[in-house]
Structure 1
Amino acid sequence: MRKIFSVILITCFALKGISQEKPNIIYILVDDMGYGDIGVFFQNQRMKTNDRSKPYQITPYLDQMAASGAIFTQQYCNAPVCAPSRGSLLTGVNQGNAHVRDNQFDKALEDNHTLATVLKQASYQTMAIGKWGLQGVEETGPDWPSHPLKRGFDSYYGYMRHMDGHEHYPFEGLYRGKKEVYDNYKNVAEGLAKCYTTDLWTAVAKKQIIDHVKGKEASKPFFMYLAYDAPHAVLELPTQDYPKGKGLNGGLQWTGKSGQMINTASGVPDSFVYPEYADATYDDDNNPATKEVAWPDTYKRYATANRRIDDGVGDILQLLKDLKIDENTLVVFSSDNGASIESYLPAAFVGFQPTFFASNATFEGIKRDVLEGGVRMPVLANWPKHIAAGKVITTPSMLSDWMATFAEMAGIPAPARTDGVSLLPSLTAKGKQQKSLVYVEYQGEGKTPNFKEFNPAHRDKKRGQMQLIRMGDYKGVRYDIKSAEDDFEIYDVVKDPQEINNLALKAGFEKMQKQMKASVLQLRQADAEAPRPYDNAFIPAATVSTKLSSGLIQQFFEGDFPWVVSEKGLKAKKQALGKSINTALEANKNGMVLYTGFIKIPSDGKYNFSFQTSGKAYMRLHEASLFDADFGYQPTKELTKEVSLKAGYHPVSIYLLQNSDVTNSTTIKWKAASAEDWKVLEANDLYYSKK
């Protein structure tokens, strides 16, 4: 009875102003495609200049997707390389709170809430296709610790290992050796002769959508995570032209026949170049009087890889129309980071440089950089009749915001652990859009490229430890960080997207500089596996402009929640001054209690905190995750953490899941690290603002 009641209550979190029917969701993620590689973002502008020294690509289906939906012009990846970017997308947390950081490919995605577990709770059928790379390296046969089936997905078909995604013919292994492709836990690569992975993933996606719509789970909505491994790495070519037509009866088709698993598994692997690129020439010396030269093969390959993805997306969009589910399906398209200089081709080929097509548009920096070229993403969203055609969303946001967005679409609150905010108001023009926290930290290898197209200040710049943070139109960026006191370069990236005019060198930005230095310490927690030079810096206290009084604010959010939920987008049923962390505002009701206040730190130093609860809970210090006693938490287990804090008032948020049938007990203790005795954190130890 309780399980049925839970489903009914979860459904009550209906979308405001949107059909009660839960939409299907398809998230398409490509690998190393730059912001400027898509026509609508930059290539079309390049084409219209009629400048023969500037080659361009075409992406007609992605352009159609943009024309009938929305583009995000200021959405950022969470990290400028694959693994942490994808990990943050799947878990909804930024790199300040993430488990997978830096270039930790193949590291196990933490056993916690994911896009799939959240949507599965909302009765979605969940499917993952393509590149994973977050499985964990401790293998027992094919049974990886964080296989997609162990992270909320009902099915998986694709490359498990990160490095496998550097080869686009798994059976032949033309340039990087044979690879394994898994159908759930079974390696099926032996039957995949001549299967170009972009085609393979597209065909599998189409098959799974058709099977779902016509199968026994058709009454459920579905969530598909479709992760292409192109155009990254080996710039291999398809076997042949894209099959005629699109959708249900055309385009890519799954045959299911070993040795010819898809209808393009014939012809010659690594052979087909789109006709518009095969004989393309350009003015290489920017001199109209001299004869044009052919595009180097490397760039014909790159453009073909992107065009093939474009065809695949067009094929899937047509399938949704043919199945008459397009108006109830949100499709999101993005890259995982900026374009790179990687091609992994034999020495006879010229190396790849993203400046040939201006793959990162006018932005400077590439993959592995926190300059705009490494982190600004080409994001499109299509949802007929819900998203206005041709919509341009300029609000800064992050890939990790899609967790909260999809949760709201599914009619279920996002977990409290989620750092992002729902982008649904921006997409549908209904409701008020909350501000997204745009923050990236990363330890980068080597230096920025010495491209003549880049500003001299951005050439051969040592990466090292890097950070970026957005504050309105302004972006703070630091390279080769040595300490928390290093200054940020500050740019107005709306007026100055190339990041040329460093405003930090001018008078009037001292306050912002100080604010940025404080914020990047307040929103993150240290991770021993990704050490930073500012890990042990004292976290600044909050700037409090109003008078504080003893106590804390207590809010009650009613609902039979499946986890400790985020308060973002929810309305409290009741609010009062809290007298105790274990006192309920609404007794005998299911819901969540949120306590907010400030803890007063008497002097600069290291402080230890202890957290123990008999139920489920979560706690933040500033914007950083302090304790996660929600997913997989063993009741009454004591969690401890040491934090370096400056003297002053530090905001805390304590989330407690309330069950009407069980009386939960939570104990929070703290002490200076040098002290022997713990002190229980009581309401009278905290402070609140009366405003």
Structure 2
Amino acid sequence: MNKYKSNTLVVLLLTIVFSSLSASVLAQQKPNIIYILVDDLGYGDLGVFFQNQRLKQLPALKSPHLDEMAQSGAILTQHYANAPVCAPSRASLLTGVNQGNAHVRDNQFDKALENNHTMATMLKNAGYATIAIGKWGLQGTDEKQKLNWPAHPLKRGFDDYFGYMRHADGHEHYPVEGIYRGKKEIWANYKEVSEGFEKCYTTDLWTAKAKNYIIGFEKNNKDKKPFFMYLAYDAPHAVLELPTQSYPTGGGLNGGVQWIGQKGKMISTASGTVDSYVHADYANATYDDDNDRKTPNVPWPDTYKRYATAVRRLDDAVGDIRKLLLDLKISDNTLIVFTSDNGPSIESYLPKSYVDVKPTFFQSYGPFDGIKRDCWEGGVRMPAVVVWPKSISAGKVVATPSMLSDWMPTFARAAKTFAPVRSTGVSLLPSLTDIGKQENGLVYSEYFQAGKTPDFKEFEPDHANRKRNQMQFIRVGDFVGVRYDIQSADDNFEIFNVVKDPKQKDNLASQSGFDKLQAQMKAKVLQARISDPEAPRPYDNAAVPGVGLTGNIKKGLKWSFFKGDFDYVPSLSDQAAAKCGTAKSLNSIKTSKGIMVYQTFIKIDKKGLYSFKVSTGGKAFVKLHEANLLDADFNYKAGEVVQRDVILEEGYHPVTIYSVKSQPQQKITLQFKAEPGEWEDLTARNCFYK
């Protein structure tokens, strides 16, 4: 063989080797994703966020495994629930939309999660295996024909499901021996399987099932697919039942809680006495109940020993799962998020012989005021811990304001795919990894709850015993606007700098210079939402204000073209367009297969009710300001008309139109009209840009 041929062969072999390595690396670039969501855990319940500073003098909780996870990754100190109660918060998490655009709002427990994009459908489309474990509560209410629950997890993008289907079942932490309402149902996909699950404390049960799935998946995963696991615990919420025994030592593949799979012994901790074990750190814990060092300390009330044990059990579960990932050598490329669905609860559902649980004992709301069902920071500020060893620096603190609905676009970017454009969140990866520019997200929520905020003496006098009813909060920079007992869109926000004033003591609304921020907040909350007749608001009929448009205003629409083959309407905010320009109308620019994004301002000459409708041969989506106006995407049939009415103030209103074409000749029709009036196409006659 001559020298030239020898060198050519070497180059060829090296090319093959490096190509194989590149393919392998690319396959590993998509991380496994485990999203751990717990129920009613407050910002202040974790050591790293708040409890560690209480350890020396006050009753305190410990979370060593989560503290270690935080040291290995990142904590998000300004992370918010989408709502201050579980059903709407979890629904917004799974669908990636805030409460101003959500289908499940207020206290709509067991309402069917809308048949639209979810984290699971998005990641499944990106090549992931998907599983949900634990509490669901978003299935719909077809109790007569359980197999026809309209929003069963398997109908919302998950390949597998194991857990409590109904919301109320999640109040109980023993499926068989529940001390509050008795036996509960466990569903494995479409089969009810609770027989044989005696003595299975649900924190242990969901953990054992999660470990069993991961072990089996890795053993049989010949295609090297990544997996997405939504692991939704029902603790420490509601009935504060205790485990049967101490958490098994070791953790991981050979230790910790294990799945046995035998009736009567389904998991390794299904023995001993139900509702019996108090964690050793708390069994004999005492505290200074009267703040007098001269008097002896007294034992913690049993209620709080129970709460502390439930939280510590979750901490053990997280440590167990992380050890398993290490044992299986998949830890480095697994992204784990741990957080809660809303603030701490005042509910314990224990017999009357127990003292009522109060979040004040451990100051579970942290440095804030407010609890579950409140729009004060304590009701909506969440502890969030994230680890992804080779992508997120150890010990990182992320102060970017964010919400649960930001996780869908975050996971999309991590999975090298696109979030659906209907998502109102933004990717947090730039803040977590220091790669790329962090987009500003929208932190906004609305909620209704009758009654009042609890009258805890630890709360500011103006926050305690406050009438709730219709509530709202919005964050702009360091400032949060809060409204309680809203009567109309004209009600003023109380405004607080929650970075400097986390307890929201100093209402800045009446101070000089805050009138512009007040007006901005009032406009923003109308521009970012769409009304829902099943969750009526006193501002539903308020006209959406326009925006100021000055300078060199031209007639027509701006457009950007992104080439590609898209199965749904994607968010491309961080992508560079292949082409861009201006046009006098939709469909006037010839393009190949891909997506056209049109941006324009519609000029409204008179305040009133306006109707919008869209139809297309492909898929489309229309946003008005920051609200999701028209959805012709998920399960859309070509040619269908999607229509919505909205009340608009006189002025300019930004509209963004997304049109996905699978064939170059496909067209989109978007029209609007005043009521009464004639339909108008969007053209240079009524559209403007700068």
Q: TM-score, normalization: structure 1?
A: 0.95
5 Å-filtered alignment, 1:284-363, equals: 284-363=289-368
**Hey, what's the Cα distance between the residues in 2 that align with 1:381 and 1:116?**
19
1:535-557 Cα offsets, whole Å, 9 max, x none, are 01011001224331101100011
Match of 2:671 in 1: 669
Match of 2:630 in 1: 627
Q: Give the letter aligned to residue 591 of structure 1.
A: G
Deviation of the 1:191 alpha carbon: 1.4
Deviation of the 1:668 alpha carbon: 1.5
Deviation of the 1:686 alpha carbon: 0.6
**Hey, what's the Cα distance between the residues in 2 that align with 1:84 and 1:581?**
36
**Hey, what's the Cα distance between the residues in 1 that align with 2:445 and 2:551?**
31
Match of 1:98 among 80, 97, 102: 102
State the secondary structure of the residue aligned to 2:332. Answer: helix
Match of 1:45 in 2: 53
State the secondary structure of the residue aligned to 1:237. Answer: coil
5 Å-filtered alignment, 1:188-199, equals: 188-199=193-204
Contact 1:30 1:335 in 2 (8 A): yes
5 Å-filtered alignment, 1:419-458, equals: 419-458=424-463
Deviation of the 1:18 alpha carbon: 9.3
Match of 1:5 in 2: none
Q: Could you tell which deviates more after superposition, 486-495 or 439-448?
A: 439-448
**Hey, what's the Cα distance between the residues in 2 that align with 1:66 and 1:230?**
21
Deviation of the 1:662 alpha carbon: 5.0
- Return closer, same or farther for 1:355/1:19 CA change in 2, 3 Å cut-off: farther
Match of 2:171 in 1: 166
**Hey, what's the Cα distance between the residues in 1 that align with 2:290 and 2:667?**
74
Contact 1:581 1:683 in 2 (8 A): no
Deviation of the 1:216 alpha carbon: 4.0
**Hey, what's the Cα distance between the residues in 2 that align with 1:657 and 1:187?**
41
Q: Give the letter aligned to residue 666 of structure 1.
A: I
Q: Give the letter aligned to residue 382 of structure 2.
A: M
Match of 2:659 among 646, 652, 656: 656
Q: Give the letter aligned to residue 480 of structure 1.
A: D
**Hey, what's the Cα distance between the residues in 2 that align with 1:344 and 1:173?**
11
Match of 2:139 among 131, 135, 138: 135
Contact 1:421 1:568 in 2 (8 A): no
Q: Percent identity?
A: 62
Match of 2:505 among 500, 504, 507: 500
State the secondary structure of the residue aligned to 2:147. Answer: coil
Deviation of the 1:257 alpha carbon: 0.4
Contact 2:162 2:189 in 1 (8 A): yes
Q: Could you tell which deviates more after superposition, 212-221 or 124-133?
A: 212-221
Match of 1:549 in 2: 554
**Hey, what's the Cα distance between the residues in 2 that align with 1:337 and 1:608?**
36
**Hey, what's the Cα distance between the residues in 2 that align with 1:559 and 1:546?**
35
**Hey, what's the Cα distance between the residues in 1 that align with 2:166 and 2:497?**
39
1:109 aligns with 2:109: no
Contact 2:585 2:682 in 1 (8 A): no
**Hey, what's the Cα distance between the residues in 1 that align with 2:684 and 2:283?**
71
**Paired residues, number:** 666
1:28 aligns with 2:36: yes
Match of 2:646 in 1: 643
Match of 1:78 among 82, 85, 91: 82
State the secondary structure of the residue aligned to 2:630. Answer: strand
Contact 2:28 2:333 in 1 (8 A): no
Match of 2:8 in 1: none
1:67 aligns with 2:83: no
State the secondary structure of the residue aligned to 2:462. Answer: helix
5 Å-filtered alignment, 1:456-495, equals: 456-495=461-500
**Hey, what's the Cα distance between the residues in 2 that align with 1:605 and 1:579?**
26
Q: Give the letter aligned to residue 34 of structure 1.
A: G
Deviation of the 1:217 alpha carbon: 5.3
Contact 2:83 2:89 in 1 (8 A): yes
Deviation of the 1:583 alpha carbon: 2.7
Deviation of the 1:562 alpha carbon: 1.5
**Hey, what's the Cα distance between the residues in 2 that align with 1:594 and 1:282?**
62
5 Å-filtered alignment, 1:536-615, equals: 536-584=541-589, 587=591, 589-615=592-618
> Considering only aligned residues, what root-mean-square deviation do their CA atoms show, in Å?
1.3
1:212 aligns with 2:217: yes
Match of 1:154 among 152, 159, 176: 159
Match of 1:680 in 2: 681
Contact 1:368 1:445 in 2 (8 A): no
Contact 1:212 1:218 in 2 (8 A): no
Q: Give the letter aligned to residue 608 of structure 2.
A: G
Match of 2:207 among 190, 202, 207: 202
Deviation of the 1:143 alpha carbon: 3.1
**Hey, what's the Cα distance between the residues in 2 that align with 1:545 and 1:35?**
44
**Hey, what's the Cα distance between the residues in 1 that align with 2:26 and 2:377?**
34
State the secondary structure of the residue aligned to 2:521. Answer: helix
Deviation of the 1:218 alpha carbon: 5.4
**Hey, what's the Cα distance between the residues in 2 that align with 1:512 and 1:106?**
37
**Hey, what's the Cα distance between the residues in 2 that align with 1:65 and 1:296?**
30
Deviation of the 1:444 alpha carbon: 1.6
> Which segments of 5 or more consecutive residues in structure 1 lack a partner in the other structure?
1-13
1:121-162 Cα offsets, whole Å, 9 max, x none, are 001000100000000002423331100000000000000000
5 Å-filtered alignment, 1:247-266, equals: 247-266=252-271
Q: Could you tell which deviates more after superposition, 591-600 or 172-181?
A: 172-181
Deviation of the 1:292 alpha carbon: 0.7
**Hey, what's the Cα distance between the residues in 2 that align with 1:19 and 1:148?**
27
Match of 2:12 in 1: none
- Return closer, same or farther for 1:601/1:333 CA change in 2, 3 Å cut-off: same
Q: TM-score, normalization: structure 2?
A: 0.95
1:50-71 Cα offsets, whole Å, 9 max, x none, are 22xx200100000000000000
Contact 1:425 1:432 in 2 (8 A): yes
Deviation of the 1:584 alpha carbon: 3.4
Match of 1:223 among 228, 233, 238: 228
1:286-317 Cα offsets, whole Å, 9 max, x none, are 00000111000000000000000000000000
5 Å-filtered alignment, 1:375-390, equals: 375-390=380-395
